[in-house]
Chain A
Amino acid sequence: MTDTPRPILFRGGTVIDAVGTRAADVLVEGDRIAAVGTGLDHPGAEVVDVTGCVVAPGFVDLHTHLREPGREEAETIETGSRAAARGGFTAVVAMPNTDPAADAVHVVQFVRAQGERAGLCEVLPSGCITVGRRGEQLAPFAELASAGVHLFTDDGNGVQDPQLMRRALEYASTLGIVLAQHCEVARLTEGAVMHEGSCCSRLGLPGWPALAEELMVHRDIELCRLTGAPVHLLHLSTARSVQLVRAAKTDGLAVTAEVTPHHLALIDELLAGFDPVFKVNPPLRTRADIEALHEGVRDGTINAIATDHAPHAPETKELPLDQAPPGMLGLETAFGVARSVLDIDLARLIGLMSWQPAAIAGVADRHGGPVAPGRPAHLAVIDPDVTWQVDPFDLASKSRNTPYTGRTLRGRVRHTVFRGRLVVRDGVAQQ
């Protein structure tokens, strides 16, 4: 970070950003993009041949569980940052469900400092909506905002109390921050293991009804209408949720929404083998839900693809299904999974992973912006059509709970540039 990196010249690639798509070389010098154009040359620069590849703004993940502080056996900010960098992410929003929870300035300062120490991507701490994520008392939004927090959520828990959520949005409305909701009415999902439907009925597993998500999506859309404060809806998983958000956007409300690669790619029936690696919250849903999420991505109802990267130590994923914690790895497979299953063009996919989430995270000044001279050099170099097989033992994450073991994916990040440095080179995270 303090050393001055050697200039890098990416030669022969295609640049894709919010401005458009064009063949161009990209010269990175210091921590900035120095030049973009054809036939570039620069004495002393390391030339990286990126023929056939796409040079894009680095990805921004709105939803990463880095587990530190508190669950360092599953992930640390360093290992999670390395996984993020390998996935092409140059900024990740660290979820606040740590131990202690990120409801105080010293916790978010710690998370940010650990991110800087790792130096592989920008770790953006989120803050809790309520103290200890207990749903009782508002966290100090303004204090946390002055410490740089932009996104607030009790992720893992939805804020159950409608009065508290109303007050949270009213209080937040003048602070320029965004409240993000994990939509789950807890009383409807007690003990739930998987999607409520024909599959759980056959498998004798307690069901997580789609309604439990949709009721809270509906409530928060109406609270957004009432208060005018922006609401971001995390990891939407059901067809009706997409419809509700679509209608809210038609009404011009300040609602944004994300989906995860796994909800776009994986179906509830995968739980028929009782492997906890497929247990996630919200749960994998039906084919009809998956199709509706795809339609939401195609028509712009969905603003961002976010990973909900949720590392868990191996022994916890060997517990009985009803005791195993929910969650799956996502950072290193996100682009490949999304590219493999989504029927949209590459530029739109990159937008869903880069400039669109950057705007929601409040980092559009430095992430996701056009690949243009003078801009901060945060880049993902993508091989868009290469196929590769997921090997859980070839992941940078400290955990192994990927649901894609053995799957062949299309599209992979080859190099990642963060602050002008090649933090990932040919798929390998640098130290």
Chain B
Amino acid sequence: MRHLRSLDDLGPGGVVRLLGLTDHMVDIGRRAMPKVPALRGRTVAMCFFEDSTRTRLSFDTAAKRLSADTMTFSVSNSSLNKGESLRDTIETLESMGVDAFVVRHRSSGVPWQIARWTSAAVVNAGDGWHQHPTQALLDAYTLWTSLGRAPLEDGRPLAGVRVAIVGDIKHSRVARSDVDAFTQLGAEVVLVAPPTLLPPSLEAWPVTATDRLDDVLDTVDVLYLLRMQRERLGESLLPGLREYTSRFALTPERAARLRPEVRVMHPGPMNRGVEIGVDPARLAHSLILDQVTNGVAVRMAVLFDLLAQGGDTSTTVSALGDRHD
């Protein structure tokens, strides 16, 4: 893999391969000294043109556990405020010696533009409404491990799993990447949203869609709630948050109806009282904190896959050391 802008960059079978690699990284995280020298001498630049503390810290921790050097570029204290162009910024950083750019930007497509200007690897940490591939990988990993780690060999470890993704699909990079990841792994995905919060066309999306959460609640194995952004209210997409909550939120009533084995997920940060009206800690099977934990291991796997010498993961995994210290 040369970049990770979307899961397409992983090629066929790539998601499964990353799940396997993430296992090694989880092991490292459990060690007394959770750090390996695999990326010593490599430099990872965190370019967060849109604020995101959690994702940035997650990537930063991942890079440091692999002994990479990191530098952080954020808009609030950057030369972009002095009129420097995106391209000049990237070229300036690259001349300091950067092996990978981790890019978050509010505009869809920026990682693709940057990849045309640099010979370093580009990792998409979220672009506009478009893609958020490491979120999808950590969601897939979290789900796979929680559901009993079905064998990876056939490439469809989530076969038979039915996932409802609920909320603002239209403006969600998480939804776009998750649909790709879950369906590649064999899961069935149903999108739950009013038509105003679906993309204009679902042609070629391997999903079904409904606006009736209550109709699918009893049939799904996973309930994936998206963050409902309040600024959408000004765009005539919804009558109001109260109606949204009554139709699409995980209310205490709906939580009581859920079968206990149903997994509940959320990419964070949660809007308590909007898309989720219960304390997730009181749910039988909330995976929300596991998602955060696994975020570091997944991002280690991605950086390792992109930057480790040789590029062939199967032979370089030994560089990570024994699985059990």
Contact = CB atoms under 8 A, between A and B. Distances in A.
* Chain A partners chain B: yes
A315 B85 contact: yes
Given A204-B173, A315-B85, A322 B108 contact: yes
Interface stretch (A195-203, A399-407, A422-430): A195-203
B109 A320 contact: yes
B113 A201 contact: no
A193 B109 CA distance: 12
Contacts of A276: 113
Given A315-B85, A320-B86, A201 B108 contact: no
Given A318-B85, A322-B128, A201 B199 contact: yes
A26 interface: no
Given A274-B109, A318-B113, A205 B204 contact: no
Contact of A205 (B85, B129, B201, B202): B129
A204 B170 CA distance: 8
A227 B109 CA distance: 46
B54 interface: no
B66 to A, nearest CB: 29
Nearest to B235: A190
Nearest to A318: B87
Contacts, number: 69
Contacts of B131: 204
Interface string B189-203: 000000000011111
B144 interface: no
Contact of B130 (A203, A209, A273, A318): A203
Q: Is the interface of A mostly helix, strand, loop or mixed?
A: loop
A200 B205 CA distance: 13
Interface in B73-95: 85-87
A322 B200 contact: no
Interface string A202-229: 1111010100000000000000000000
Given A203-B130, A204-B128, A274-B112, A320 B200 contact: no
B306 to A, nearest CB: 20
A323 interface: yes
A160 B202 CA distance: 31
Interface in A316-339: 318-323
A321 B204 contact: no
Contact of B200 (A197, A274, A323): A197
Contacts of B200: 196-197, 200-201, 207, 209
Given A318-B85, A318-B87, A201 B107 contact: no
Given A204-B128, A273-B112, A322 B199 contact: no
A401 to B, nearest CB: 14
Contacts of B203: 197-198, 201
A321 B201 contact: no
B220 interface: no
B193 to A, nearest CB: 13
A201 B109 contact: no
Contacts of B227: none
Q: Is the interface of B mostly helix, strand, loop or mixed?
A: loop
Interface string B167-196: 000000100100000000000000000000
B107 A320 contact: yes
Contacts of B199: 200-202
Interface in B85-140: 85-87, 105, 107-110, 112-113, 116, 127-131
A318 B107 contact: no
Given A198-B201, A315-B85, A321-B107, A274 B129 contact: no
B40 to A, nearest CB: 34
A194 to B, nearest CB: 10
A321 B202 CA distance: 22
A268 to B, nearest CB: 12
Contacts of A275: 113, 116
A201 B85 contact: no
Interface in B200-232: 200-205
Nearest to A209: B200
B201 A201 contact: yes
B205 to A, nearest CB: 8
A205 to B, nearest CB: 5
Contacts of B109: 203, 205, 274, 320-321
Interface string A78-109: 00000000000000000000000000000000
A200 B176 CA distance: 12
A61 B52 CA distance: 49
B107 A323 contact: yes
Interface string A240-284: 000000000000000000000000000000000111100000000
A321 B114 CA distance: 12
B8 to A, nearest CB: 10
Interface in B239-267: none
A423 B61 CA distance: 64
Contacts of B204: 198, 202
Contacts of B130: 203-205
A323 B107 CA distance: 8
Given A198-B203, A201-B199, A204-B130, A274 B85 contact: no
Contacts of B86: 318-320
A320 B108 CA distance: 8
Interface in A341-358: none
Among A200, A204, A205, A321, find the residue whose CB has the most chain B CB atoms closer than 10 A: A204
Nearest to A195: B200
The 10 A-B pairs with the shortest beta carbon distances in the complex, nearest first, are A274-B109, A204-B130, A320-B107, A201-B199, A204-B129, A198-B203, A274-B112, A198-B201, A204-B108, A201-B201
Interface of B: 85-87, 105, 107-110, 112-113, 116, 127-131, 173, 176, 199-205
28 contacts: A197-B200, A197-B203, A198-B203, A202-B199, A202-B204, A204-B127, A204-B128, A204-B173, A205-B108, A205-B128, A205-B130, A207-B200, A273-B112, A274-B110, A274-B112, A318-B113, A319-B85, A319-B86, A320-B86, A320-B107, A320-B109, A320-B110, A321-B107, A321-B109, A322-B107, A322-B108, A322-B128, A323-B107
Interface of A: 193, 196-198, 200-205, 207, 209, 273-276, 315, 318-323
